[in-house]
Structures are given as C-alpha cells and as structure tokens.
C-alpha cells in the first residue's frame, strides 16, 4: 500500500511538473511571437481622394488584427479595420480603407497589427482646385549599387520638406522582380509614411508583380491621371510593351481633352528630350509631343538619364529628373537645353490657381534651376 501511494505521488508530481513546463513554454513562445512581429514595409498612404484614402503596410508574418487609428489630432479617435485580403499574392500585406474624410485636410494615423503598434504619422487628402499644393518630383532611385547611400540622402531631404505628395519618374529599384529591393526602397524612404507616392513604371521595374502589389493607383495602374489642387497629373507607361498601344494613346487624348485644371503635368520614364547617356526617345517624341503641345501641357517630367536637364519646346517644359540615387550619368547640352547638370537632386513645386513655382534642388540645399509659370 505504501509503495502504491509513493507511485501515485510520483505520477501526480510528474504531471504537475509537465503542466508547469508546458505553461512556461507556451508563455515563452507567445513572448517570442510578440517580439517577432514587426512592420517591414510602411505604413504609407495610397490612392488619395478628396474623401477617401488607403493605408498600406506589410508585416513580417501573418497577423489577425490589423487596424488603422486615425483622426484630425494626435489623439486620433477613429478606428478602421482590415476587412479582407486585397491580394492573394502577399498575405502579410495589409490594406485598410478610410472613407468619410474631408478634402484639403491633414489627418494623423497609426497602424496596429496584433501586438505591434507603429508611430503616429500623417497624410493629406486631395486638395480642392482653389487650394495651394506642394509636392516633389524625382526619379531613378535604384540605389542597390552602393547600398542605397545616395538614395537615402535624397530621400532624407525630401522628408525634411514634408511634401503633401511625391511623383516618381520610374526605376525605383534596379530589379523590379526582386522583392528585397522593394523592401530596401521603402526602408530608406521615410517620407512615404506622410506623403502619398505616385510612381510610373521605369524599364528596371520589368513590370514585376511587386510594383502592382505595393502601389494602389488610379485607372489600370500602368497609365492613370488624377487632380490635386489646381493641377491635373497624367502618369504614362513609356516602356515599349505599352508605349505604342493604341489603348493608351486614345486614353491620353480623351483624358487631356476633358481636363479643366489650370495646370497640367505629365510624367513618365523615357525622356522625349535628353542630352544624357540614353538620349532622347525619338519614337515617343514623334508620337506624344504633338499631343502635349496641342493640349498646352505645362511640364513633362522624365527620368532614365541620371542627371538633371530642362528644355523648352513649343511652350512645354521638358525636365529630366533622374538624380534620385542611381549612379550619375554625364549630361551635355542640346538646342532645347536651358540648364543641365550631372548631380543628385529633387524638384520642388508649389502651385495655386494662377502661379506654379518650380525649383530643382541639390541635397545640400542649393538651387540649381528655377522658373515660374503664370496663368
């Protein structure tokens, strides 16, 4: 009998000890899981409208509770949740729609994924026609060649300016099919937390799926347009697979024909006029220049050549802004050239209903070129 009691005592003791060990292990695993959850891309605003915007971010592992807390002040006060997965290609990507917003307004937001909580950032809804807008245009950031050193310098300067939104003229990364390069771009581009980014496809994007996963753009995302303040913006795909498509050409003509904004800006990757290494894209010049001239486009922004150049042809300003971080190219002068320089830079623009002010700026703050368009 005594031996039976001893055996029972040992069995009970082993079970209790095993339960304690399992509990400790579960707590440890839970803490480990909590520590591992982090955001690897974003958060950042996309698809801004006067009353609607999307907030996008990517976690390093699957999460179940994904929310955006937002409001007019740092107290936030509103909560919007992720209702469904917008893409089956990246289950760690989260997209939350915020609606019922006011136009021309700055909002604050943060995101929460399970136990992880981001810092508080901000975004702007689209501005009404009678408001002033401030934005940046730049391109060719693909900084993998020197571990994103120069791209980081330019991106940090853009963040200091705190633009309402940013246009990118393509070649964001060197290999658009390499996901890690996209993560690197977002990691060094802190301005994307607070400024809606509008890119176009460069040749180095290779029409990779990551471009279409990370960006939510109007129309078919390859070519699109939007209004913000007094400016109408048109983004085009100048890569050969789409540049000569009749569908894009007809869409472009219809879009510009119905445009009623005081100013019009078109942006795409391959330049119509360039004195740099790649030079002018002549077949696009023949195809698109008459359209830009006919519809009184104010500025055409391009990249591809890693330099700065501004020319003016038949009333249209053609600007190559490829100094976002890729290795610089030499640039000369041609009959259309007003100013050119081999330098890292970004372009800063402000516009109201009667005046558009442009400056091209080096990372050290020096202005290399400027002009004003009055209506």
* The domain boundary residue, chosen from 105, 124, 143: 124
We report the CATH number of the domain holding residue 112 as 2.60.40.10
Do 150 and 116 reside in the same domain of the chain? no
Residue 16 in any domain: the answer is no
Do 363 and 275 reside in the same domain of the chain? yes
Residues 6+ apart with CB under 8 A from 147: none
What's the pLDDT score for residue 87?
57
Reported confidence tier of residue 86, pLDDT bands at 50, 70, 90: low
For range 12-33, the mean pLDDT:
45
Reported confidence tier of residue 90, pLDDT bands at 50, 70, 90: confident
What's the pLDDT score for residue 7?
46
Q: Kindly give the interhelix angle for 149-161 and 179-188, rounded to the nearest 10 degrees.
A: 40
- In DSSP terms, which residues pair with 355 in a beta bridge? 374
* Token pair belonging to 360: 């091209």
The pLDDT tens digits of the residues spanning 124-137 come to 999 999 999 999 99
Cβ pair 118, 69 in contact under 8 A: no
For range 77-100, the mean pLDDT:
85
We report the CATH number of the domain holding residue 344 as 3.60.21.10
Reported confidence tier of residue 83, pLDDT bands at 50, 70, 90: confident
Do 144 and 73 reside in the same domain of the chain? no
Reported confidence tier of residue 36, pLDDT bands at 50, 70, 90: confident
Reported confidence tier of residue 89, pLDDT bands at 50, 70, 90: low
Task: Enumerate the H helices of 90-173 as residue ranges.
Answer: 149-161
Do 283 and 208 reside in the same domain of the chain? yes
Residue 11 in any domain: the answer is no
Give whole-number Cα distances, 146 to 79, 150, 174, 204, 327, in Å.
41, 8, 12, 17, 9
The pLDDT tens digits of the residues spanning 223-262 come to 999 999 999 999 999 999 999 999 999 999 999 999 999 9
What's the pLDDT score for residue 25?
45
What's the pLDDT score for residue 33?
45
Residue 341 in any domain: the answer is yes
For range 164-168, the mean pLDDT:
98
The H or E element that residue 235 is part of is strand 231-235
Residue 355 in any domain: the answer is yes
Residues 6+ apart with CB under 8 A from 244: 283, 287
Residue 277 in any domain: the answer is yes
DSSP at 212: H
- Give percent of the chain with pLDDT exceeding 70: 89
Residue 21 in any domain: the answer is no
Do 142 and 119 reside in the same domain of the chain? no
* The domain boundary residue, chosen from 62, 93, 124: 124
For range 333-337, the mean pLDDT:
98
Do 93 and 145 reside in the same domain of the chain? no
Question: What end-to-end distance do the CA atoms of the chain give, in Å?
Answer: 105
* The domain boundary residue, chosen from 92, 124, 156: 124
- Is the confidence at residue 24, as pLDDT, over 90? no
d(CA 76, CA 67): 12
Name the domain count of the chain.
2
The pLDDT tens digits of the residues spanning 264-306 come to 999 999 999 999 999 999 999 999 999 999 999 999 999 999 9
* Omega before 223 within 30 of 0, i.e. cis: no
Do 144 and 88 reside in the same domain of the chain? no
- Is the confidence at residue 77, as pLDDT, over 80? yes
d(CA 258, CA 263): 13
Residue 177 in any domain: the answer is yes
- Is the confidence at residue 4, as pLDDT, over 70? no
Do 46 and 170 reside in the same domain of the chain? no
Domain of 68 in residue numbering reads as 39-124
Do 120 and 150 reside in the same domain of the chain? no
Do 202 and 87 reside in the same domain of the chain? no
Strand intervals (E) in 75-194: 78-81, 93-99, 106-113, 116-117, 121-124, 133-138, 165-168
For range 338-344, the mean pLDDT:
98
What's the pLDDT score for residue 27?
44
Cβ pair 98, 124 in contact under 8 A: no
Average pLDDT score, the chain: 92
Do 143 and 85 reside in the same domain of the chain? no
Residue 147 in any domain: the answer is yes
d(CA 262, CA 24): 67
Reported confidence tier of residue 11, pLDDT bands at 50, 70, 90: very low
Do 245 and 363 reside in the same domain of the chain? yes
């Amino acid at each position: 009998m005594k031996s039976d009691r001893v055996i029972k005592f040992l069995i009970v003791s082993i079970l209790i000890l095993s339960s304690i060990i399992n509990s400790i292990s579960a707590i440890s695993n839970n803490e480990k899981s909590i520590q591992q959850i982090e955001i690897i891309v974003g958060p950042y605003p996309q698809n801004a409208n006067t009353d609607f915007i999307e907030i996008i971010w990517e976690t390093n592992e699957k999460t179940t509770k994904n929310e955006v807390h937002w409001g007019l002040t740092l107290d936030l006060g509103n909560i919007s949740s992720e209702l469904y997965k917008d893409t089956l290609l990246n289950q760690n990507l989260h997209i939350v729609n915020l609606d019922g917003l006011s136009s021309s307004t700055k909002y604050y937001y943060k995101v929460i994924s399970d136990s992880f909580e981001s810092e508080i950032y901000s975004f702007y809804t689209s501005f009404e026609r009678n408001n002033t807008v401030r934005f940046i245009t730049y391109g060719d950031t693909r900084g993998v060649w020197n571990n994103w050193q120069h791209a980081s310098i330019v991106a940090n300067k853009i963040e200091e300016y705190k633009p309402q939104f940013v246009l990118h003229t393509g070649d964001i990364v060197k290999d658009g099919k390499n996901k890690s390069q996209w993560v690197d771009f977002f990691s060094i581009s802190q301005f994307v937390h607070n400024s809606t980014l509008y890119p176009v496809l460069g040749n180095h994007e290779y029409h990779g799926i990551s471009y279409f996963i990370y960006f939510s753009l109007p129309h078919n995302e390859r070519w699109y347009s939007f209004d913000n303040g007094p400016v109408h913006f048109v983004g085009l795909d100048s890569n050969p697979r789409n540049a000569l498509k009749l569908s894009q050409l007809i869409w472009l003509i219809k879009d510009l024909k119905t445009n009623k904004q005081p100013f019009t800006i078109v942006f795409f990757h391959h330049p119509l006029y360039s004195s740099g290494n790649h030079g002018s894209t002549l077949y696009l010049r023949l195809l698109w220049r008459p359209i830009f001239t006919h519809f009184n486009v104010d500025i055409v922004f391009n990249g591809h050549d890693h330099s700065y150049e501004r020319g003016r042809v038949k009333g249209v300003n053609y600007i190559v802004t490829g100094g976002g971080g890729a290795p610089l190219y030499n640039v000369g002068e041609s009959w259309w050239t007003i100013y050119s320089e081999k330098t890292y830079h970004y372009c800063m623009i402000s516009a109201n209903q009667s005046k558009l002010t442009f400056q091209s700026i080096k990372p050290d703050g020096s202005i290399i070129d400027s002009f004003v368009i009055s209506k």
